[in-house]
Amino acid sequence: MRLTALPSEVDTLVSFLVWLDLAHSFSGYVDFLAAVSREHLKCHFSDPSKDYRVKRIFSALRQFVDKKPQCMSKDLWIRDAALVAIGLRTICHPGELCKLKFKDVKFGDKLCWVRISSSKTDQFANGKFIPIEYTDSRYCPVRLLKRYLEIRPKTMEDQPLFLSNRGKQLTVGAVGAIVKRKASNAGASGRFTAHSIRIGGATAAIEAGLSLTQIRAIGGWDSKAVMLYLRS
């Protein structure tokens, strides 16, 4: 997909807003949209910020974190928001997300480091660290993770990071159910599975301008298999 700057296509604007929420700051979206609208009107272009798809992405992002279903506990909703945000940002396999330990997360002054201890392409289990930057967005992955850790039951450091309601390690099937629940609550249509986290993370990254080399490094691809995810 070819993305243009000015005049901006609606798809360009939507793609940028999604990445802005995941990696930068969604909190200033009102000022951002006002600037987009002003520049387009100044050049006598139609205003893409008024498109219904742009309005829907705001609604979806808000519902993703804010609007908990009445039948679900607040603690599980907080856990699920953190899990999906961290999964998208690290572009990891659902199984890797399940196997994350409490000790695999380290908070620094400017970055949060998430250690993926092993993966299918890491034959010697050397592991890798993925940096996640802090932002001022209330939907920042680091902020959502810290919020979850505040309510997470206290355990030993070698216990799973994301716990089931019984205090056990989540299964890939459970992650799939979480993704479907979040997508449904956000009003998104389509087929969603646990792997949608990895696909969504890779797609958002490429649309935000990251190179294939960067995405392969983050996601742990050692071949051009990443293109299958981007086509999806």
Sequential pLDDT tens for the chain (232 residues): 444 567 777 777 766 666 555 444 445 566 777 788 888 888 888 887 777 666 666 565 555 556 666 677 888 989 999 999 999 888 888 999 999 999 999 999 889 999 987 666 555 556 788 888 888 777 789 999 999 999 999 999 999 999 998 999 999 999 999 988 888 877 777 788 888 888 888 887 777 777 778 878 777 777 676 776 665 4
**Same structural domain, 92 and 40:** no
The answer to whether residue 79 is domain-embedded is yes
**Same structural domain, 126 and 204:** yes
Report pLDDT for 21: 55
Cis peptide before 7 (omega within 30 of 0): yes
The answer to whether residue 94 is domain-embedded is yes
Which residues on adjacent β-strands are paired with residue 130?
A: 114
Give the number of domains in the chain.
Answer: 2
What is the SS3 assignment for 137? coil
What is the SS3 assignment for 172? helix
List CB contacts of 197: < 8 A, sequence separation 6 or more. Answer: 84, 87, 88, 92, 94, 97, 175, 179
**Same structural domain, 57 and 82:** no
Which residues on adjacent β-strands are paired with residue 106?
A: 113
**Same structural domain, 123 and 96:** yes
Report pLDDT for 106: 94
From the list 111, 106, 110, 147, the residue with the least C-alpha distance to 127 is: 106
Report pLDDT for 32: 72
**Same structural domain, 178 and 85:** yes
**Same structural domain, 59 and 96:** no
What is the SS3 assignment for 46? coil
Report pLDDT for 58: 58
**Same structural domain, 86 and 52:** no
List CB contacts of 36: < 8 A, sequence separation 6 or more. Answer: 8, 13, 47, 48, 49
Q: Where are the beta strands (DSSP E) in 24-164?
A: 105-107, 111-116, 128-133
pTM for this entry = 0.67
Report pLDDT for 59: 61
DSSP symbol at 171: P
Report pLDDT for 121: 58
**Same structural domain, 84 and 165:** yes
Q: Which domain holds residue 20?
A: 10-65
| Contact present, 183 and 190 (Cβ < 8 Å) | yes
Residue type, 96: E
- For tokens 């380290």, what's the residue? 106
Distance between CA atoms of residues 195 and 14, nearest Å: 22
Distance between CA atoms of residues 61 and 96, nearest Å: 25
Report pLDDT for 15: 65
CATH number, domain containing residue 160: 1.10.443.10
Tokens of 168: 């056990």
